[in-house]
Structure 1
């Protein structure tokens, strides 16, 4: 009888749902700001849409490096030690840290402008190994066209960036290449940490007709410091990040980073279902939004052309 009871108890235990999480997805970003946070949320929602819901078969882990590359490397090592099913690094510095830390755990990076330049993969179409992801390479030629449309007399653009961010260095080269045929000179001003952003912005006053901020995590984290300088000097400030427009940018043509996150999450789902990351091509995120800040433009005495307002995805009044 005792043997029968034990057998029945064992059978019942096997029939109970597992208490441990079935799948772990670990996500990290170099810093917290609206665009990267939106990408993280998009990843999570894409997983939920595919049936991987937090607490119901999914353990979703998130850590921010708070802008510190050394912390990003520490998080990467910790994640590798925890051995999740997939690691999702958001931004170039976090992706570089994670890719350097593992050759075995699947990695799906996102919000990386230049995956080749950052040495995350050797081939966009056939990445091989354990790494794939999404690029958010900015349409810089379209950005030049937009700035010229709003400021027809523009001759110089100030490029505010962190020279230590590989994506910003790649975007600088692309911007110069696009600006030259338009007869526009690009003037650089670097800030290697958020405390230096205001000073770097001030260094451009009197030297440029407009300021341009790329998808640079350091600058965007302290964007209000740059905006205050631009407002005081009556300088139009443009960004590549649409989430920054309601923080004081005049206009931005770029990705909706929640959508970028959703697209990234869909790749993660493919891997969870058995595909190898090295067999999934690295793609450029889809979609671009035009967001303009009419209120900010009026604050510095700038009238936005009707041609821009009429085709904007969103206008901040």
Structure 2
């Protein structure tokens, strides 16, 4: 499926999700694709995965079948989605984020699972080690011990008046406690005062911004399904409340956030295709090392910086992978 084909499907009034119709005739191995968010918001991740599979010779509807399912930021739907995919006798699962991956692992300890964007799979009990997972889960982790410190330092460089930083996180994400401790310790180390601001629904995001400018000078957004799905809302509210924002991925900055440093989720889903290809050709997830990010993109929105009255240091502009004007 070409990107423009996907966009036209999304924009059509008669679209029915998932893309892979439940009654379709299955061809080749059957792959269950589970994303924690909305198809309309996160559809580019599925597109990237399908593009990666095509590059390896796999085409949906021809020599494989992809059944995509969308949790729509409602974790209570996940058990039903998993039960449905197991009833469809899928051969492999591709899961996005720690919440979905944990749910998939709880439902099956034998079906191969290729994860994307899971913070610490060893701490979550998904793998024995990154080098040798040892179970039925492998894929890509977005954990990086250096990235949190780097993001905080970049935030201070672009917004030097920052002393108090609010850390926006999803209270339902199993990775939040670990991420918060890393952020708290790194923020304190460079003289910042961090505070955890937790949300559980999209409506919570609106409410937590009330009075936040009186308690914080800037916003540090953690990466999880809820924040990714509501990236435009977060960027808009941060701008309206005068809070320069450190974002985890490029998509936030495109939506109006100030700057981001992180791996590309689109690229990570494309890389997941390599794991799927190898497993379909006989490899065991237990033997496939979990990959960590190899490249971090620095993206800066100079229009947003101007709205905050900030001047982006020339040295930062020089090393940026992308500058949005």
**Structure of higher CA gyration radius:** 1
**SS state at 1:286 partner:** coil
- Tell me if structure 2 keeps the 8 A contact 1:263–1:285: no
Q: Deviation of residue 39 (structure 1)?
A: 3.1
Pick aligned residue for 2:204 from 187, 192, 196:
196
Taking the aligned partners of 1:102 and 1:128, their CA distance within structure 2 comes to 15
2:30 maps to which residue?
A: 24
1:156 maps to which residue?
A: 164
| 1:241 has 2:249 as partner | yes
Taking the aligned partners of 1:222 and 1:55, their CA distance within structure 2 comes to 32
Bigger mean CA offset, 146-155 vs 182-191:
146-155
Deviation digits for residues 207-253 of structure 1, max 9, x if unmatched?
Answer: 11100111122123223333333223322122112111011210000
1:70 maps to which residue?
A: 76
1:96 maps to which residue?
A: 102
| 1:115 has 2:121 as partner | yes
| 1:42 has 2:22 as partner | no
**SS state at 2:214 partner:** coil
1:252 maps to which residue?
A: 260
Q: Residues 292 and 34 (structure 1 numbering): CA distance in 2 closer, same or farther, change over 3 Å?
A: farther
- Tell me if structure 2 keeps the 8 A contact 1:89–1:109: yes
Deviation digits for residues 240-289 of structure 1, max 9, x if unmatched?
Answer: 12111011210000111111111111111110110000111112132111
Q: Residues 32 and 50 (structure 1 numbering): CA distance in 2 closer, same or farther, change over 3 Å?
A: same
Structure 2 residue runs of 5 or longer lacking an equivalent are 1-24
Taking the aligned partners of 2:38 and 2:169, their CA distance within structure 1 comes to 17
Taking the aligned partners of 2:75 and 2:44, their CA distance within structure 1 comes to 21
Which runs of structure 2 are paired with 1:214-233 in the superposition (5 Å)?
A: 214-233=222-241
**TM (normalized to structure 1)?**
0.89
Deviation digits for residues 291-313 of structure 1, max 9, x if unmatched?
Answer: 11011111122221111112111
- Tell me if structure 2 keeps the 8 A contact 1:252–1:290: yes
1:56 maps to which residue?
A: 62
Pick aligned residue for 2:274 from 260, 266, 270:
266
Q: Residues 37 and 115 (structure 1 numbering): CA distance in 2 closer, same or farther, change over 3 Å?
A: farther
Deviation digits for residues 29-49 of structure 1, max 9, x if unmatched?
Answer: 111378853333222112111
- Tell me if structure 2 keeps the 8 A contact 1:36–1:90: no
Q: Residues 135 and 35 (structure 1 numbering): CA distance in 2 closer, same or farther, change over 3 Å?
A: farther
**SS state at 1:258 partner:** helix
Taking the aligned partners of 1:20 and 1:297, their CA distance within structure 2 comes to 50
- Tell me if structure 2 keeps the 8 A contact 1:162–1:218: yes
RMSD: 1.8
Deviation digits for residues 37-70 of structure 1, max 9, x if unmatched?
Answer: 3333222112111111112211011110101111
- Tell me if structure 1 keeps the 8 A contact 2:221–2:227: yes
Structure 1 residue runs of 5 or longer lacking an equivalent are 1-18
Taking the aligned partners of 2:235 and 2:60, their CA distance within structure 1 comes to 38
Q: Deviation of residue 122 (structure 1)?
A: 2.9
The count of corresponding residues between Structure 1 and Structure 2 is 299
- Tell me if structure 2 keeps the 8 A contact 1:133–1:283: yes
**SS state at 1:226 partner:** helix
Deviation digits for residues 124-178 of structure 1, max 9, x if unmatched?
Answer: 2221121112101251111011112112332111111111112233221111122
**SS state at 2:215 partner:** coil
